[in-house]
Amino acid sequence: MKNTPVGRFAPTPSGRMHLGNVFAALVAWLSVRSRNGHFVLRMEDLDTQRTSAEFAEILRQDLLWLGLNWDEETPAQSARTDVYDRYFSLLEEKGLLYPCYCTRSQLHSINAPHASDGTYVYPGTCRHLTNAQKEAFGRNPSWRVCVPDRDYEITDLCQGIYKENLLHDCGDFVVRRADGVYVYQLAVTVDDGEAGVTEVVRGQDLLSSAPRQMYLQELFGFSHPEYGHVPMLLAPDGRRLSKRDKDLDLGYLRQNMTPESLIGTLAFSAGLIDKEIPISARELASQFTWKKLRGDAITMTGTLFSAK
């Protein structure tokens, strides 16, 4: 297993896969399969209100329909609270956690700089509360981890260099919510680390969370994986595709296309093949390199749109 690339796809089972999810899954799979690596599937179902075992099963069937098989499915996040508890305690032992009592509206009114993704930079409001102040709130706090004044730099397989200073561009961030639910940043770091994931391929919208995860990886004793944040998909008219485009989820697409024609259209739009022809995931893997993949937004060809 040494030096074997380990990749993963970690969908949220809250509905049918959308075209953007399919693209992220495809590239994650191609990157691993083109080098005889190991592919891990994991259900990110921290939000138990929105996710279900039924959707998880549909997701598996959709992946198999696409030809994107996996070697291992690791336990879903909803079953791993006790594991996350251990890593939470580790942060506590290091003296890096503190309770935050800020309400949502207080956080919104923080007159602090905003990060590139539009979220506010937490100014450390609750870092030095006294015990008396904490008790006076009389409610459960969320828990934040103190971040260092340090730059984290990624050489992303798709986006090139991305740099962020955790203190100035992000601030101390929440690892456990007031209702006891662990946040994505902690869960994903633990899950990828324990599964020995060596490359994290996912949508570009998650690029700005990579530095937070790199910081947690160091605290938890995991090595940094490589990152590949694949670009957003645009409609032929330049509009950003979203989950609201119901006719581009797999429920619809499976009725109107073969897996090969869908993968061919995605691969051609992304620059992975020169002609828009039907192709299987396996055939595509034999010719995949990251160099071919464009880092900027990908405008889809009209095929999916004229098929309606």
- Min dist. Cβ of residue 296 to Zn ion (A): 37
Tokens at 287, concatenated: 């010719």
Return the number of the residue (4 or 106) whose C-beta is nearest Zn ion: 106
- Min dist. Cβ of residue 263 to Zn ion (A): 46
- Min dist. Cβ of residue 97 to Zn ion (A): 13
Asked if residues 186 and 84 have their Cβ atoms less than 8 Å apart, the reply is yes
**How far, in Å, CA of 302 to CA of 308, rounded?**
11
Return the number of the residue (102 or 257) whose C-beta is nearest Zn ion: 102
- Min dist. Cβ of residue 149 to Zn ion (A): 19
Asked if residues 125 and 260 have their Cβ atoms less than 8 Å apart, the reply is no
- Min dist. Cβ of residue 102 to Zn ion (A): 3
Return the number of the residue (104 or 275) whose C-beta is nearest Zn ion: 104
Sign, CA torsion 31/188/219/162: positive
- Min dist. Cβ of residue 107 to Zn ion (A): 7
Return the number of the residue (83 or 183) whose C-beta is nearest Zn ion: 183
Interface with Zn ion by CB under 5 A: which residues? 100, 102, 125-126
Q: Residue 174's closest CA among 185, 164, 163?
A: 185
Q: Residue 235's closest CA among 285, 289, 284, 308?
A: 308
Return the number of the residue (103 or 287) whose C-beta is nearest Zn ion: 103
Bridge partners of residue 199, in order along the sequence:
7, 226
- Min dist. Cβ of residue 218 to Zn ion (A): 24
Return the number of the residue (49 or 131) whose C-beta is nearest Zn ion: 131
Return the number of the residue (126 or 279) whose C-beta is nearest Zn ion: 126
Q: Which amino acid is at 38?
A: H
